[in-house]
Amino acid sequence: MESLTLSDVEQKYYSELFLSCDVDNTKKVASNGKVLDLFRAAQLSNEVVHQITELCGATRLGHFGRSQFYIALKLIALAQSGLPLRVESLNSVRDLPLPRFVMGKNEQETRHAVMFADTENQGPYFPRPPGRVQAKKVSAHEMIQPCVPTVDPQPDTTSPVVSPHQSPPTSPHAWRKHKRQASGGNVDRQPSVPGVVWPPFREAQPGPVTGDGMWSAHSPPPVQESWVSFTDTPPSSTLPMHPPSAQPESTTVRTVPSAMTTNEIQRQISGYDDPWKITDEQRQYYINQFKTIQADLTGLIPGSAAKEFFTKSKLPILELSHIWELSDFDKDGALTLDEFCAAFHLVVARKNGYDLPEKLPESLMPKLIDLDDSAGVPEPATEVDFSASPVEVTPNKSPSMPSLNQNWSELNQSNEQWETFSERSSSSQTLTQFDSNIAPADPDTAIVHPVPIRMTPSKIHMQEMELKRTGSDHTHPTSPLMANPPELSDETKLAATIKFPGTTVGDGYSSSDSFTSDQEPISSAVNRQRSHSGTSPEGLKVVAPPPPPPRPHASHSRSSSLDMNRNFAAVPAGPQQPGVVAFPPAVPPRPLPTQTSVPHGHRSVEGDGLPAHTSTSPHQMPEQPNFADFSQFQAFAVDQPADDGENTSDSGQAERCAETTGTMKTAKNDIQSEERNATTVNSAKVSTPLAPPPKPVRRRLKSEDELRPDVEDLPQKSNVIATVLATQPSIPRSIGKDKKAIQASIRRNKETNTVLARLNSELQQQLKDLLEERISLEVQLEQLRPFSHL
């Protein structure tokens, strides 16, 4: 026979029963007749009774020895709670109610019932217990109430166990209650063992209040069953008594009958809802424990620390391993706060005797629950319950919609993540659009945008890639990952934004581009830069690289330097000359804005026309090493028609020239706006630097409109101007024009590159598929080959 562990209450009860059955007073054997009568009084079917007798070994022995009797009684309790009759469950099910026997069938039995109660004046109550037992809830209430006063005078301070003895009407129920308390004691012992880790359990143990807690401890599945059985059988109708009776005996039952029932009903309801629900106190407790291991609530507990912590619970390693498997949702070897709470909850459940589920229950799935909710005011009952046993389905706080809570919290979490991301993205308005481009698009399409304009600083490209990656990582549920992408994106965005002004300051080209684009139909690419959110990094890319190689410089220097030199020569030489005189005054305003590199559309546009002016400014003279070259080119240009010179240059330059001419026109316009009288002259002057020496003279006389036909000359000059600008660190705008053309060509090339790359990848994919097919065919062939050899 399996060794039977009985609680004190059980021990007493069983011994009493044994004595009652021990009619022959042998102290060892209970007579079969008595025992069978008793068993039948337990209101079990005959088959069950037979099964019980078989299980306890009485049939083998032929009589009921003490141990068999006890086993039989426990089995009866099992059967009455609706649990399957198994020898193993004798010891495993700790919170078993005491077996109930319907008294009153026999006078003898009633007398035995008398024996059960220690007090003598229980007789009058006996007729009532049966009645009470079978009475409805209400009547039971009434019945009990009169009994209570009799109970009260009896000192119950001796021990909670004793007092119920004195209330015979409730004796079966009281037994049950004390069984609860006893089982509370059982559970007590285990949690207290791990020590400091589990103080709440220990502290809560003393006091009959725990009985209440223990009662609620049964809310998980086994209790559900017992609840069911209770409601089914009449004795269960007295169930509502238990919670109140479990309360300090002084508190009378009658004062709170309604509360009990509601409590009970709530418990029943919540019990059916979700046995794995974590109450808020429990969650708070778990969170506190989490903090002892890992201060950061959004951080992770490493596996080793968690292992140490949970090993303290003295559960077998195998079960802990299983709990870990269930709770480590993302399989990362570390526990987040939610995972930790789930694991803790499972450990507690296991310690209370409930089997671990095969799959993680929904309510334990890791999700973000507002910590604010968990910090809500707990009711005293729940607090007691929690302290007694964390595994409780509490009625008060249990949101009746756990799933809804989950969804909401998940949604909240994801919303949170999205919000943080969007917040950061909105920090730089240009980049938000970029992100929106990223999110739905695959990397290929995302690359398309940056590609055309990308010049390369690989750093910026990397930032772009990170931005895209963070967009994709966005949906990842784990917090650490979530923490990083927003930071990453934030950094990249910040860097990008910082870069942008930096580059604009440092490199007037970018500003010129961005703003000339407004005015330039031709520089549509640059327009794209601004309109496209994604272009800001592209713009940065464009901006970041240093001015293009001196190739354009040569061409630019050719025409512009010639004129500029001329002008320089002319200016000092003949300040009295009206044109020249007019020239210098026009100069200062332009260089200033350009030099300060504050992008204004018109100013930057003027940049093209300004090189001459800037070059005229004395302090810039030394900064133009090209002037020496310019003079050569100038001479060269003078010899040849400007057009030819232009033709020799790249076609890109021609484009640039076209652009610059347009800018030149606008520059001329601007010049006009500035100084009416002087503008014409200035524009003439502007054109003069571009035109070969003989032409400037002519140009001066010509009107602006007449100058326009000389577009061909202007591009050349503008190229030179651009180169000159490039040489001037503060006024690289003309180079920008130059660069635009180059970049346009680069863009086109890169577009073709991407197209080809895509094609390549597709073909490679096809190749892979074909190879796989080939492999499979070969395998099949091999399989078939043995047959061919036969």
Contacts with another protein by CB under 8 A lie at 303-304, 306-307, 310, 317-318, 320-322, 324-325, 328, 331-333, 358, 772, 775-776, 779-780, 783
To another protein, the closest distance from the beta carbon of 218 in angstroms equals 26
Provide the CB-side half-sphere exposure for 741 (13 A, CA).
24
Q: Among residues 498 and 779, whose Cβ is nearest to another protein?
A: 779
To another protein, the closest distance from the beta carbon of 307 in angstroms equals 4
To another protein, the closest distance from the beta carbon of 316 in angstroms equals 10
Longest dimension (CA), the chain: 147
To another protein, the closest distance from the beta carbon of 303 in angstroms equals 3
Rounded to the nearest 5 degrees, what angle is found at the Cα of 329, between the Cα atoms of 326 and 330? 145
Question: Which H or E run includes 334?
Answer: strand 334-335
To another protein, the closest distance from the beta carbon of 276 in angstroms equals 18
Q: How far, in Å, CA of 142 to CA of 336, rounded?
A: 52
Q: Among residues 280 and 339, whose Cβ is nearest to another protein?
A: 339
Q: Among residues 323 and 543, whose Cβ is nearest to another protein?
A: 323
Q: Among residues 327 and 716, whose Cβ is nearest to another protein?
A: 327
Q: Quick one: how many helices (H) and strands (E) in the chain?
A: 44, 4
Q: How far, in Å, CA of 729 to CA of 507, rounded?
A: 8
Q: Among residues 344 and 627, whose Cβ is nearest to another protein?
A: 344
To another protein, the closest distance from the beta carbon of 359 in angstroms equals 10
Q: How far, in Å, CA of 162 to CA of 706, rounded?
A: 120
Contact 292, 298 (CB under 8 A): no
Contact 699, 684 (CB under 8 A): yes
The CA distances from residue 239 to 160, 234, 605, in Å, are: 18, 9, 91
To another protein, the closest distance from the beta carbon of 783 in angstroms equals 5
Q: Among residues 310 and 515, whose Cβ is nearest to another protein?
A: 310
Q: Among residues 319 and 623, whose Cβ is nearest to another protein?
A: 319
To another protein, the closest distance from the beta carbon of 776 in angstroms equals 5
Contact 474, 421 (CB under 8 A): yes
Q: Among residues 303 and 506, whose Cβ is nearest to another protein?
A: 303
To another protein, the closest distance from the beta carbon of 478 in angstroms equals 14
* Residue 613 neighbours by CB under 8 Å, 6+ apart: 583, 586, 587, 588, 590, 591, 686
To another protein, the closest distance from the beta carbon of 382 in angstroms equals 32
Q: Among residues 301 and 460, whose Cβ is nearest to another protein?
A: 301
To another protein, the closest distance from the beta carbon of 338 in angstroms equals 17
To another protein, the closest distance from the beta carbon of 323 in angstroms equals 8
Q: Among residues 38 and 346, whose Cβ is nearest to another protein?
A: 346
To another protein, the closest distance from the beta carbon of 336 in angstroms equals 14
Burial of 762 (0-12, 13-18, 19+ CB in 10 A): exposed
> Across-strand partners of 29?
65
Q: Which two tokens stand for residue 515?
A: 């703003």
Contact 686, 671 (CB under 8 A): yes
To another protein, the closest distance from the beta carbon of 764 in angstroms equals 18
Q: Which two tokens stand for residue 475?
A: 């949906």
Q: Among residues 444 and 773, whose Cβ is nearest to another protein?
A: 773
Q: How far, in Å, CA of 228 to CA of 248, rounded?
A: 26
Q: How far, in Å, CA of 157 to CA of 173, rounded?
A: 19
Kindly report the length of the chain: 790
Q: Among residues 351 and 737, whose Cβ is nearest to another protein?
A: 351
Structure letter (DSSP) for residue 478: -
Nearest to 4 by CA among 57, 40, 81, 48: 57
3-state secondary structure of 30: strand
Contact 29, 64 (CB under 8 A): yes
Q: Among residues 196 and 318, whose Cβ is nearest to another protein?
A: 318
Nearest to 14 by CA among 94, 79, 72: 72
Q: Could you give the dihedral angle defined by the CA atoms of residues 356, 358, 364 and 365, in that order, rounded to the nearest 10 degrees?
A: 160
Provide the CB-side half-sphere exposure for 601 (13 A, CA).
13
Q: How far, in Å, CA of 708 to CA of 701, rounded?
A: 13
Parallel, antiparallel, or unpaired for β 29-30 and 64-65? antiparallel
Q: Among residues 310 and 583, whose Cβ is nearest to another protein?
A: 310
To another protein, the closest distance from the beta carbon of 197 in angstroms equals 17
Q: Among residues 40 and 307, whose Cβ is nearest to another protein?
A: 307
Q: How far, in Å, CA of 452 to CA of 542, rounded?
A: 10
User: What are the φ/ψ torsions at residue 8 (nearest 5 degrees)?
Assistant: -60, -45
Structure letter (DSSP) for residue 97: P
To another protein, the closest distance from the beta carbon of 331 in angstroms equals 5
To another protein, the closest distance from the beta carbon of 304 in angstroms equals 6
Q: Among residues 61 and 317, whose Cβ is nearest to another protein?
A: 317
* Residue 406 neighbours by CB under 8 Å, 6+ apart: 362, 363, 365, 367
Contact 429, 496 (CB under 8 A): no
Q: Among residues 142 and 319, whose Cβ is nearest to another protein?
A: 319
Provide the CB-side half-sphere exposure for 295 (13 A, CA).
0
* Residue 352 neighbours by CB under 8 Å, 6+ apart: 187, 217, 220, 389, 391
